[in-house]
Structure 1
Amino acid sequence: MTQQNLSALIWAVAELLRGDFKQSEYGRVILPFTVLRRLDCVLAPTRAAALAEYQAKSAAKLPFAEFVRRAAGQPFFNLFPQSLPGLLGDAEHLRDNLSAYVRAFSVDVEDIFLRFDFPATIERLHKAGLLYLVTEKFAGLDLHPDSVSNYQMGLLFEELLRRFSEMSNETAGEHYTPREVIQLMVELLFCEDDAALAQASVVRTLYDPTAGTGGMLSVAAEYLHGINPNARLTLFGQELNDESYATCKADMLLRGQDVGNILPGNTLSDDGHRAMRFDYMLSNPPFGVEWKKVEDEVRAEHEERGYRGRFGPGLPRISDGSLLFLLHLLSKMRPVKDGGSRIGIVLNGSPLFTGSAGSGESEIRRYVLEKDYVEAIVALPTDMFFNTGIATYVWILSNRKAPERAGMVQLIDGSGFWRKMRKSLGSKRRELAPEHIRTITRILGSYQELQQAVVLDAEGKELERRVLFAGEPMPEAPEGGKIQLLPVSRIFRTTDFGYRTITVERPLRLRFQMTPERMEGYAQKLQEKLDGGGRGPKRMRSAEAQETARAEVERLLADAEALREALGEAVYDDWNTLWPRIEGLLEARGSRYTPAQRKVFRDAFSESCPEAAPVLSGKRQGPKYEPDTALRDTENVPLGEDVYAYFAREVLPHVPDAWIDETKRDTQDGKVGIVGYEIPFNRHFYVYEPPRPLAEIRADLQAVTARILEKLQGMAGA
């Protein structure tokens, strides 16, 4: 029986469910029943032997599990005396017997059905009067390994998953990555290793920390099977969602994988494969999902273990934890001496550029680029995922890059390679065709800067898109159309994405004047400090402390009145000469200001003025002048350039009184300026298109106007 026929037979069960179950709920019935029937067929030849072994060991009061597994010839067993077809002989007790049959599986397998919430499904089918009909349908299917291999069974299960995901668009994006996106990621991941993987007796491991329903694991297994049927790829994964975990575990079981390698739980807070390292890794972590629920565990690991843990380089903002999954994957790489690792992860645009120098995101980018882990980043088309239409990017990382790629990063703009779907699925309106996947993979493998020729007709509609590989001819432009040349592959040094943020200061220049309005504002500021300042709210201070504070305010107000009488409302543009005079006037009154009181006084009666003299700092070391915080600015200096040369060339010609704040230094190298990294992907593929000549636009407008007038005249004549 072909896979298509088998899939159609199983899918026919959906007709029985119509009306009693929503379409989005069909999977809760069909998936566990498919698994159940497959396991029933697998265990059929050894059922009697396994049951006899169980009875013998139980009678002897010996541990039986390992002996029964050996008798069953499988890593799992079932101790129920009947097969699934045998349960149909007692229709009256089918519900109880089917539930008992599921409970009779070994722990790993029973866990799958519990995570599917299969007991509740049995009860619901029973109440709807459908349990016998559904069980009968599945009991009649021949899913024995002699008829359906593990490989075929995996394909069948994946086909069912795809259908159910498409019918449940509201949640599909959380647990299901479109197959063609996975196919692209898998080919990008393996393309450098095809020759090695084709050799005899190849054994490799692959891991997905956000396994979902197991799509990435299964497609990777199919790909490797396609290039080398004798290769052995051991799959590992972890998944948070119970139903997705059950689905993934079931898929691995049907493929003959060790289901003990698929674990439940949150990867970030509870790494189920803590001591493991893997050859290959794939992941599609949630886009823009906050990690507040696991913040305590993640921060503790970051602060206590540092680089000995997973999150040493830094932590991203709480609103998006996708970079945490990237760090997690990097921690799972094999040492280079043991063969190293390759990673494929799909992320949104935020990890490319979010976060300024010194932020968690920037420090993570710095880590992966300075360690030379990033091999390539591929931009995907928008509208590719079920629950979001945003731009997404596939990152390919490795600690065993080819020699020619050392210290380099390849950026590939694959956003133009797509075809429109016949029917939208949620936010997914576009898909990658097989030729698109081949082209993008070839671009990665070519490792060269390339252009693509986009053929446009007279109306600007795209007719063809061709990558100009070596020897590829340029397409011809259609009549009235044109050829648009756009970059599709660019290669950069890792340091090209780095910069050093310097803080540029300018002197504070103050104009002083004691006007009545400013006197009023000063009095109000002092009253506010009296009401809410001090060492706590006014109501919490003792009467003695309140009285002392009140007396202090009265003194300051009296000082201000005396100063105003002496200085008048004259305008003073040099605070450096004015302040000694004010100090003398205060001293004559037997008064003196603390630094804090001086600041309040100066702020109340001064304003920034570019014509005023710069205010001296009065410090023996450091800048000569006080900085004006309102004029403070930053400059991002390319990483390979001297900050002082850049400052002299780009800043001083415009603001000659500026200086660099040399206290702002990088925590890692100690140099002036804080190192940051960003990958402005779109900027590197932007092509300027000059506006059309004014004469062309005028001619078009005149032609349109003439046509309108002609029609109006025709209407008037009629």
Structure 2
Amino acid sequence: MATQAALSSFIWSVADLLRGDYKQSDYGKVILPFTVLRRLDCVLEPTKDAVLAELAAKQKLGVNPGPFLQRKTGLPFFNQSPLDLKKLLGDPSNVEQNLLTYIQGFSSEVRDIFERFEFQTQVERLSKAGLLYQVTEKFCQIDLHPSRVSNADMGTVFEELIRKFAELSNETAGEHFTPREVIRLMVNLLFVEDSDALSKPGVVRTLYDPTAGTGGMLSVAGEYLAELNPRASLNVYGQELNPESYAICKADMLIKGQKVENIVFGNTLSDDGHHGEHFDYMLSNPPFGVEWKKVEKEVRREHETQGFAGRFGPGLPRISDGSMLFLLHLISKMRPLKEGGSRFGIVLNGSPLFTGGAGSGESEIRRYVLENDLLEAIVGLPTDMFYNTGIATYVWILSNKKPAERRGKVQLIDASGMWQKMRKSLGSKRKELSDAHIERITRLFGSFQEARDEDGTPISRIFDNEDFGYHSITVERPLRDEAGNIVLGTRGRQKGKPQPDSKLRDTENVPYKEDVAEYFEREVLPHAPDAWIDPDKTRVGYEIPFNRHFYVFKPPRPLAEIDDDLKATTDRILEMIKGLSA
């Protein structure tokens, strides 16, 4: 078996041919489609003769050969051209025309992949630079037959190449894919409660990723389910906005025998490619902190005209971060409970936990999630886990089919201390989860119990949904005239009532489980006996102050000890000054 590193470095060596004629940032435009082409070329090689014989037979009968050719390949695609990459090399003077003819010989789904890569443009450019024959020859030397390179390894090669090209062109590599071990953890958390159902023979499940990238999440989930139950079948669906990532995802799914029409191109938020469909499982790593201004018109229209019949009924987050829109999108895709229900995992940064006060879009979305009892758990990951950002990230697990013991509850797991240092950093990624870490987090989730680590620090905590809610109350104080007398209203409903002084106005957040009147009497009136609550301004809010729930107070050192340290330091400085002046 060729190793991934050897494969990647071989494919990377093609860059040496391109140097000078291509900018570094454009290498990927050649190497990625050629890698896909060589893989498809190798995958189809064993059935090539049978396909050509079948084509001739069906053409004689005047029958559409497509379905018959597909049956011969045993794959959801075929190529009806007599050419392949090795044959192309036998006619060096016509390599450009023959290569394009060969591409045209593929079935429509494959042709679409090369159109997204804008492959014809690159072929013409290579031909003009006198490089097309050499590049084609180079790729013919690499053996990408499935017997030599597994689908999983092929996926990893694609990912490594994309990351390298993204770095060269200063793109954010994290836009394209999620670290494999993070996906493995998410898939574990999705499947752990359903392992009995998933181990039955002939089980068929659907999985959807609205931000599919190069298809890493879909691939890893498929591999995991195959390990769990070789007779289970996972039908995958996705949508992706970046043309290159979409092309790679589609190529990957094609090779794995998935229905590639389930992978849709376009912007999930403004143009839902799977409208009205529901899924058993879903995974997503949407872009963090990316504004949604480009799709604002369509999203607002859906929110205002469709309300809860659309995807964005609960509310809209601030324009600077669209990640919570993906959360709402996934909720809308959950299979109804009477049809078996749904569970999904989404990676978010810290802001969806607490950004936005009571009544804001973010708070209303959290309120909808918690009041509908959809949130099973949130896992806090270590920093420096992703290729394009070092910030803290959180995996949210949502379900509309919670087991009885989880109903009305939310589990928070602090896995921020569970990591090992990578041998070599990749972009911002310096840390990784080991298999043991993944197993430990999965066990903490699966056991659904509070837990502490070896030092006694909490790592798993369980809360009621209401623990995250609060009433935001507006506390008013009376307006007084220059003589210090309370100003009273003179007309309407306000007649004879004290008027509020806007300069003294304050808000208080009262925990949801507390009685507002009792809280007010205890916390406010002793300090401001003339204060009152304006009931018209009371709002319900929800926030999840994750870190606060795992904060452990460490008492400061005794003062005497600090004094001794200061004295020792002062004495040392005085000695040094003496030495200088001597």
TM (norm. structure 1) is 0.75
Note if contact 1:154-1:251 (Cα within 8 Å) is conserved in structure 2.
no
Q: Deviations over 1:618-659 (max 9, x none)?
A: 445687122222222222222122222222222222212222
1:409 corresponds to which residue?
Answer: 410
CA distance in structure 2 between the aligned counterparts of 1:10 and 1:157, rounded to whole angstroms:
14
2:488 corresponds to which residue?
Answer: 615
Q: Secondary structure at the match of 1:168?
A: helix
Contiguous gaps of at least 5 residues in structure 1: 455-484, 512-572, 574-610, 665-672
- 1:227, CA displacement in angstroms? 2.4
Percent identity, aligned pairs only, is 65
Q: Secondary structure at the match of 1:453?
A: coil
CA distance in structure 1 between the aligned counterparts of 2:298 and 2:496, rounded to whole angstroms:
43
CA distance in structure 2 between the aligned counterparts of 1:108 and 1:345, rounded to whole angstroms:
29
1:697 corresponds to which residue?
Answer: 562
CA distance in structure 2 between the aligned counterparts of 1:630 and 1:510, rounded to whole angstroms:
14
2:504 corresponds to which residue?
Answer: 631
- 1:12, CA displacement in angstroms? 4.5
- 1:342, CA displacement in angstroms? 1.1
1:159 corresponds to which residue?
Answer: 157
Question: AA paired with 1:302?
Answer: H
Instruction: Spell out the pairing of 1:350-429 with structure 2 (5 A cutoff).
Output: 350-429=351-430
- 1:645 counterpart = 2:510: no
Larger radius of gyration: 1
Note if contact 1:54-1:68 (Cα within 8 Å) is conserved in structure 2.
yes
Q: Deviations over 1:350-372 (max 9, x none)?
A: 11111111111111101110111
Note if contact 2:348-2:395 (Cα within 8 Å) is conserved in structure 1.
yes
- Larger displacement relative to structure 2 (179-188 or 495-504): 179-188
Note if contact 2:76-2:257 (Cα within 8 Å) is conserved in structure 1.
no
CA distance in structure 2 between the aligned counterparts of 1:346 and 1:622, rounded to whole angstroms:
54
Q: Secondary structure at the match of 2:554?
A: coil
Note if contact 2:389-2:428 (Cα within 8 Å) is conserved in structure 1.
yes
CA distance in structure 1 between the aligned counterparts of 2:262 and 2:436, rounded to whole angstroms:
34
Quickly say closer, same or farther: Cα 1:654–1:142, change in 2 above 3 A: same
1:304 corresponds to which residue?
Answer: 305
2:232 corresponds to which residue?
Answer: 231
Question: AA paired with 1:312?
Answer: G
CA distance in structure 1 between the aligned counterparts of 2:107 and 2:155, rounded to whole angstroms:
22
CA distance in structure 1 between the aligned counterparts of 2:67 and 2:301, rounded to whole angstroms:
40
- 1:421, CA displacement in angstroms? 3.1
Instruction: Spell out the pairing of 1:94-109 with structure 2 (5 A cutoff).
Output: 94-109=95-110
Question: AA paired with 2:151?
Answer: M
Q: Secondary structure at the match of 2:286?
A: coil
Q: Secondary structure at the match of 2:35?
A: helix
Question: AA paired with 1:433?
Answer: S
Note if contact 2:77-2:254 (Cα within 8 Å) is conserved in structure 1.
no
- 1:58, CA displacement in angstroms? 6.2
- 1:63, CA displacement in angstroms? 4.8
CA distance in structure 2 between the aligned counterparts of 1:400 and 1:269, rounded to whole angstroms:
28
Q: Secondary structure at the match of 2:471?
A: strand
1:259 corresponds to which residue?
Answer: 260
Which residue, out of 669, 685, 707, partners 2:550?
A: 685
Q: Secondary structure at the match of 2:346?
A: strand
- 1:397, CA displacement in angstroms? 0.7
Question: AA paired with 1:692?
Answer: R
Question: AA paired with 2:388?
Answer: N
Q: Deviations over 1:130-186 (max 9, x none)?
A: 3222222333444444x247xx12322323322441453332021122222222222
C-alpha RMSD of matched pairs (Å): 2.6
Q: Secondary structure at the match of 1:76?
A: coil
Q: Deviations over 1:335-383 (max 9, x none)?
A: 2222211111000111111111111111110111011110111111222
2:540 corresponds to which residue?
Answer: 675
CA distance in structure 2 between the aligned counterparts of 1:626 and 1:705, rounded to whole angstroms:
59
CA distance in structure 2 between the aligned counterparts of 1:105 and 1:413, rounded to whole angstroms:
49
CA distance in structure 1 between the aligned counterparts of 2:126 and 2:393, rounded to whole angstroms:
41
Q: Secondary structure at the match of 1:282?
A: strand
CA distance in structure 1 between the aligned counterparts of 2:240 and 2:432, rounded to whole angstroms:
26
Which residue, out of 468, 472, 484, partners 1:501?
A: 472
Contiguous gaps of at least 5 residues in structure 2: none
CA distance in structure 2 between the aligned counterparts of 1:156 and 1:62, rounded to whole angstroms:
36
- 1:172 counterpart = 2:178: no
Q: Deviations over 1:642-693 (max 9, x none)?
A: 22222222222221222221223xxxxxxxx221111111111112222211
CA distance in structure 1 between the aligned counterparts of 2:144 and 2:354, rounded to whole angstroms:
50
Q: Secondary structure at the match of 1:268?
A: coil
Q: Secondary structure at the match of 2:457?
A: strand
Q: Secondary structure at the match of 1:684?
A: helix
CA distance in structure 2 between the aligned counterparts of 1:507 and 1:715, rounded to whole angstroms:
65
Note if contact 1:285-1:322 (Cα within 8 Å) is conserved in structure 2.
yes
